[in-house]
Chains A and B, each alone.
Chain A
Amino acid sequence: MSDNENNISRRKFLKLFGIGTAAAAATLTGCKKPKSNEFPNDDYTNQTEPPKDRMTYRVNPTTHDRVSLLGFGMMRLPEPDEGTATEGNVKIDQEKVNRLVDYAIEHGVNYFDTSPAYSGGFSERATGTALSRHPRKSYYVATKLSNFNKETWSREESIKMYRNSFKELQTDYIDYYLLHAIGMGGMEALNARYIDNGMLDFLIEERRAGRIRNLGFSYHGDIKVYDYLLSMHDKYKWDFVQIELNYLDWEYADEINPRNTDASYLYAELKKRGIPAVIMEPLLGGRLANVPQYIVTEMKKRIPENSVASWAFRYAGTPDGVLTVLSGMTYMEHLKDNLKTYSPLHTITADEDKFLQSIAEQLVNMETIPCNDCKYCMPCPYGVDIPGIFVHYNKCKNEGRLPHNNKDKDYDRLRREYLIGLDRSVPRLRQAAHCIGCGQCEPHCPQNIKIPHELHIIDKYVEQLKKGGKI
């Protein structure tokens, strides 16, 4: 009882003291500015902790969903601490997934994007497990009719995949449903996968029945397929389309790879039809977060507190036809950083846009391999770690650490660092020398990289380095 009294009196005291301080502060502001160190803790929290109620939302014109500008991509889910997956298997740390999802929802994220193919096929279940702990109305979930395995292309198997998504996601309706990665394999693949087996008609029926609230597609690759599906908009009534958009792909997608199409074109086609765009690869698989140091310096000079990645996210979120920007956030610090960027969004100014285009130009001229480390090509049946090899090569290229001429004075050091670094990131048995060129990976690459060709070039390069000769 006396404790209670004490508490009350303490609270009272604090209250009075608070008013007193506020009054004192007010009087002080009268004559001069308050000292900046008055609330020192805020300096720390403001720098790293995103606010809870400032998220920017965009409204879907057909269903009037209020969608958070930051969407959570469930492709790169956290793995257990005790190490990565054993051979052939992907493990997911469900506790970490739950924590990330809870934190995201708490801070206003409401769009979650998964697929039956992600994270070794376990993403949907992990997503469903995490989301089902929240009220169904508090989030939108997106999944896909995936097309990686030809065995699932028949009508029966497709419907099985579709129904299974409901089970895994523990729901009786799907907010956003996509034809996965149309454009890969051209019109032929589109017809075989979605049209001839009647699956597209089936899905449109499902939308009418209310089990799919929004129907759309995600696009990679052959532009004919994109144009064809949009030309059929009157018939299919696409509710949204998922495209790759970032400041590099806006103007330079076809320069990186002639088989790709500039995001400026893709976006304009959607905008003109009023179809909301869902953005994937805002960071180009992390490549726009890991840029050469001199570009980091230029960005930091403009806004010292903001991360390199935040520029890419602001860019992707700036066009008003963008419904949400997907980011595969494996780590809490990435989630927090992205939440800060979009709570609320500060759109890219005209001047900043020019700045980013100049950076894009510099990045394009670096001739890195456009690998986003999406791992769609994996597993290589002969054990090669394809993305691991490309990532290491790009990293060294980005940082200007590729040894070139054995007459350079730092050639020996760079050579040693490249070879040791390669052995550290990719076991020898999985390096490029073991690529036999069977080409089974190539059709899976959403970036249309000629994988065996590039691997053989890197293999030759490494061989030259090992011989210590001129390159």
Chain B
Amino acid sequence: MLRKIRTTLAIVFFTGITLLFLDFTGTIHRWLHWMAHIQLVPALLFNAALALIPLLLTLMFGRIYCSVICPLGVFQDAVAWLHNHGRKRPYSYSKAISWLRYTILGVMIVAFVAGIGSAVAMLEPYSAYGRIASNLFQPLWQFGNNVLANVAERMDSYAFYTTDVWIKSMPTFIIAIATLLTVVTLAWRSGRTYCNTICPVGTLLGAISRFSMMKIRIDTDKCRNCGSCANNCKASCIDVKNHAIDPTRCVVCGDCIGKCSFGAISFGKADSQEKKKENDTKARESRRSFLLATTLAATSAMAQEKKKVDGGLAKIENKAAPERQTPLTPPGSLSAQHMARHCTGCQLCVAACPNRVLRPSTELTKLMQPMMSYEHGYCRPECTRCSNICPTGAIRKITPSDKSAIQIGHAVWIKKNCVPLTDHVECGNCARHCPTGAIEMVPSEPDNEQSPKIPVINETRCIGCGACENLCPARPFPAIYVEGHEVHKTI
């Protein structure tokens, strides 16, 4: 029974959260964004009250969070199930490697408090799953969508539209692959090792689980010491010899209950009698250490755009990203510091950005946190998707009218690239598309009204949306680009 409920709920949550990362149309976010909000670390960052949900759940039922709500946990269960179902005794009891668990938890807390976003992002399980889903699963989803869009186009249907698939940041992409390989390998070989040795959220909830109201327990009167439960425990936490179940590692999956032929295992209120002391011995399985230190190349490779072209069209050179002295963070993120302290790098905003503006940062301290660039599109005035779905509050919820007054940066003119001066043609595309009217075209020679017109920027009115940069005809380097502001302000 417990197992059935657990599996059903797990499938619901896992599917929901995965869809959040796959969907690029913004439809699913409206309905399911709460699933991301109740993830522990995002909830802690967003609003401590929200974090009470998973914490109270754990106090009552043990680590069901890890079996149901955490997408990385469910993902590992799925991998382990693929490998182990049908096998007689896939697992065996092992002792907890507590020194490693608590060290990592310590590192995580320090990183959290110090605002080292990249370390948090690396360790946090929801974000780890997020980068796998957005970097590796979403492209497949998009390819599938594009096939359907192609079919739809032939059938004159508008049910699907083509979307661009691109690698947003090479380092993040590589880290995503590394994370996937590590998690899959560990789950394939030994179930929940990752959750019980590395995952700081698992360690934290495990510590709380010691005091949980309900636990899995073994009835010593009925138990015949057959060991079937331990051999089917993916958390390796059932010590049959001592009839003890390590509550810090048990994820309350309920597999053992069904496996016991004598009805000796049940889930219920903790009895005082079965209080157990734990012997923390030194870890033997240090070979399973988690290799997260990936060497990172500091460059990000952009996927080449592929487009179908008709006859007689001029070649369009790809736009290059200017070297912004201050990086751009999306409206709603308040400041660079706020972003760094609140973002867990889950990639949900990056996966959801419909304008190809957001991508993971490659800067070491902000690794995988979102940053903006305007080579492929600009931050459109009607869109507030990233702010609506951010589960950690790193990007605060804003409305389109809020957004029209939030200054995240300002435009800077680069004379030597400006088309009226280089190509001797009329232009003004930046001024024409500025949503705040911050750009005006003036004669390049003050005394000569007939001289080519160049853009001038009213920095106080500019909000930094990047329409000018994106639509500037100068290529590869635009003649106008947006410099970020460390602290956003309302104009």
Q: List A residues at the B interface (Cβ < 8 Å).
A: 79, 83-91, 120, 375, 378-383, 385, 388, 413, 416-417, 420-421, 423-424, 427-430, 433-440, 456, 459, 463, 466-468
Contact = CB atoms under 8 A, between A and B. Distances in A.
A88 B158 contact: no
Given A436-B425, A466-B380, A467-B381, A424 B153 contact: yes
Interface in B407-425: 419, 423, 425
Interface in B29-50: none
Nearest to A91: B311
A83 B429 contact: no
A429 B310 contact: no
Contacts of A416: 158
B471 interface: yes
Contacts of B153: 424
7 contacts: A83-B308, A87-B313, A385-B310, A427-B307, A429-B307, A434-B471, A436-B425
B380 to A, nearest CB: 7
Chain B at the A interface: SS class? loop
A434 B429 contact: yes
Interface string B270-310: 00000000000000000000000000000000000101111
Which 9 A-B residue pairs are closest in the complex by CB-CB distance? A438-B425, A85-B311, A383-B316, A87-B315, A379-B314, A436-B427, A90-B311, A378-B312, A420-B161
Contact of B309 (A87, A380, A439, A440): A87
A433 B433 contact: yes
B363 interface: no
Given A378-B313, A427-B308, 4 more contacts: A84-B311, A378-B312, A383-B313, A467-B381
Contacts of B382: 466-468
A427 B316 CA distance: 11
A434 B309 CA distance: 16
Contacts of B429: 433-437
Contacts of B316: 87, 383, 429-430
A87 B382 CA distance: 33
A383 B314 contact: yes
B312 A437 contact: no
A225 B423 CA distance: 32
B425 A85 contact: no
A468 B380 CA distance: 12
Contacts of B115: none
B473 interface: yes
Contact of B473 (A87, A434, A459): A434
Interface of B: 153, 158, 161-162, 305, 307-316, 377, 380-382, 419, 423, 425-429, 432-433, 471, 473
A186 to B, nearest CB: 22
Nearest to B305: A429
B311 A380 contact: no
Contacts of A466: 380, 382
Overall SS of chain A's interface: loop
A438 B425 CA distance: 5
B158 A375 contact: no
Nearest to A379: B314
A88 B423 contact: no
Nearest to B312: A378
A440 B312 contact: no
Contacts of A385: 310, 313
Contacts of B311: 79, 84-85, 89-91, 120, 375
A453 to B, nearest CB: 12
A456 B314 contact: no
Contact of A87 (B314, B377, B471): B314
A433 B314 CA distance: 16
A88 B313 contact: yes
B427 A417 contact: no
A91 to B, nearest CB: 7
A85 B426 contact: no
A463 B433 CA distance: 9
Nearest to B425: A438
Contacts of A435: 429
A413 B157 CA distance: 11
A379 B316 CA distance: 11
B312 A88 contact: yes
Contact of B428 (A420, A427, A436): A436
A85 B309 contact: yes
B313 A437 contact: no
Nearest to A414: B158
A84 B309 CA distance: 7
A433 B426 CA distance: 15
Contacts of B433: 433, 463
Contact of B314 (A381, A413, A420): A381
A416 B160 CA distance: 10
A437 B427 CA distance: 6
A440 B162 CA distance: 32
A380 B153 CA distance: 27
A86 B308 CA distance: 8
A297 B142 CA distance: 41
B452 to A, nearest CB: 11
B312 A382 contact: no
Q: Which of A83, A379, A388, A417 has the most CB of B within 10 A?
A: A379
A439 B315 contact: no
Contacts of B313: 85, 87-88, 378-380, 383, 385, 430
Contacts of B427: 436-438
A436 B427 CA distance: 5
B309 A437 contact: no
Contacts of B426: 436-439
Given A434-B471, A437-B427, A468-B382, A120 B312 contact: yes
Nearest to A76: B311
Contact of A383 (B161, B162, B315, B471): B315
